Structure 1
Amino acid sequence: MRRGMPTHRSILIHDSDYSIVMKYQNEYRGVVQYYLLAQDVFRLHALNWVMGSSMLKALAAKHSSTVSKMVRWYRATVDTPLGSRRCFQVTVAREGKKPLVARFGGIPLQRQRGAVLKDTAPVMQSTTNELIHRLLAGQCEICESGVGLQVHHIRKLADLNKPGRPDPPGWVRLMARRRRKTLVVYESCHQDIHAGRHNISTRKRSLESGML
């Protein structure tokens, strides 16, 4: 929220659409499932609106577009045991495999007396599943190619901000903004990173013009 209104999370706009929707849904589902025993769980409609608005603004910022266009692109309907519900859905087609589907919303906000609450001690968040989702999305996080993907890994985030380093290349700025020690990249992009000659904007322009 910013000044009383939902706002986008800028750290996410360099992720794929699939990853953005998946992250918002995982966080939203966690809150809803925690409160399913509450008789006023319907009050979480406000949370759904705030998180959904933030997600749509993040997608709009990523595509330099508008929220209304994101709504038209991704709105969908899903069937639930309590009837159909509106949601937002991103589908990633995969050759020879079932498509990947990320969905935000579509969870009935009605009390479930039989819900089982497993209130366990919090643990440190693992990035393993998150990295797997990024790999399954099948898209280079620099040039958006979907062929020959690899993972570039650094030892620690502090290595991205070494003193005395000149203007850092685009991939360094991208990892620093996202605060991640991994980057899913196309094989050629990976080679460019290790050769110290990579530039994100140049790579994207080259890809769009058919030069790669």
Structure 2
Amino acid sequence: MDGVTVDAVAATEVEEFLQDLSERLRTHAYRPSALRRVQNPKPGRLGELRPPSQASLPKTLAGKHRSTVTKMARKYKSTVETPEGPRTCLTVTVPPDRGRKPLVARFGGIPLKRQRKAVLTDRRPVMASAKRNELIHRLIAECCEICEARTNLEVHHVRKLAGLNRPGRRDKPDWVHLMAKRRSETLVICRRCHEDTHAGRGTAPPRM
């Protein structure tokens, strides 16, 4: 600590050293040495990344198949032609089926050469589909699917349509027939009709 080794402390009076250090800490007189930042060595050239990158996948395969790196490299090692000459890579080929093309997966085979005039093009992220589903269109229509009211619309939902056809159930209300006909687990209705469906009260004949 602060350039003082254990041997240096042991060569002096340990109790005296600890008392002095404790006193300086208590009186806030202790000032530690300035810390020096140490950076991990990073490869300065792309070529230095080749050995660890080539060994990463064989090590993963060896651990998964309980084999050795040498056996995995020997099994999948191949050579591919690139604009910078032949490169060694790992290749897995799945034989074709029913006249289809063989599936080829390749790891490596990319020349690690700096392109000083390369142009980086940021691709726009692929957004989720903006297509509206059927329920959204029904909500936008702003019309109760039972009484055709246009205010206080809500969505009535059932877990399974099969639950509406349980044996022994009394006569089914009109909204059940409507949901069964549409094969839909949702029904866009006004608040009054929604309360009537949950209370078991009759509702106006729905529009089919």
Normalised-by-shorter TM-score class: 0.3 to 0.5
Structure having the higher helix fraction is 1
Based on CA coordinates, which of the two structures has the bigger radius of gyration? 2
TM-score under structure 1 length normalisation: 0.35
With a CA cutoff of 8 Å and minimum separation of 6, indicate the structure with the bigger relative contact order.
Answer: 1
